[in-house]
Structure 1
């Protein structure tokens, strides 16, 4: 069994993060309404552009516990994946904090 440096081992495991993304959508300071609107806007725009990778950063839970945007944003992204707007959906690796790494499908290519 070959041994890999941690960087390459993470790549093989699929832990793509902020440094791997073509764009970053930082929602750490956004309200729930702003975050959901930003995600919907990104998804709608992506349907008419080339596919690209995006890291979505979310705030960690407040000290002492509480709600985060992880669940509502995750549900919206999962629905978009079911619709075919997202090719890849995974959580960010621990060192990047709370969030998701996605690969937007982009505009479908026309076939003659």
Structure 2
């Protein structure tokens, strides 16, 4: 987009990242069990609070390839989305590194009876 700064062009393209999030769950350097427990804790606590946006950051693959937390954490997030705990889920833009942009649904609003 030649008429926009790259920052605004990214906004129009929909690449929401770490700077757009209200909080960051940094799982870089965490072992799989610790990362999964931290994510599950965040999802559980989100059920009782207001909705918010979180950037979940993960380690990049090691040189020469190897496993990352991207797939197991992604599966947990997709399951939470199916259960209605997450309203929006997308990957972080390339400049932010590996991770997810997550909009937590928060506590459901009760309608007046």
Number of the residue aligned with 1:54: 54
In the alignment, which residue of structure 2 is the partner of 1:98? 98
| Aligned-pair CA distance for 1:4 | 2.3
Equivalent-residue separation in structure 2 for 1:7 and 1:62 (angstroms):
29
Match of 1:3 in 2: 3
| 1:45-84 alignment runs, 5 A limit | 45-84=45-84
Q: Distance in 2 between matches of 1:49 and 1:64?
A: 42
Partners in 1 of 2:13 and 2:85 — Cα distance? 23
SS of residue paired to 1:45: helix
User: Distance between the aligned counterparts of 1:86 and 1:43, measured in 2?
Assistant: 9
The DSSP-based 3-state class of the residue aligned with 2:90 is: strand
Unaligned runs of 5+ in 1: none
Structure 2: how far apart are the matches of 1:6 and 1:101?
A: 19
Question: How many aligned residue pairs are there?
Answer: 112
Cα deviations by residue, 1:42-68 (Å, 9 ceiling, x for unpaired): 000000000000000000111111000
What is the SS of the residue equivalent to 2:41? helix
Question: Alpha carbon RMSD of aligned pairs, Å?
Answer: 1.3
TM-score scaled to structure 2, two decimals? Answer: 0.95
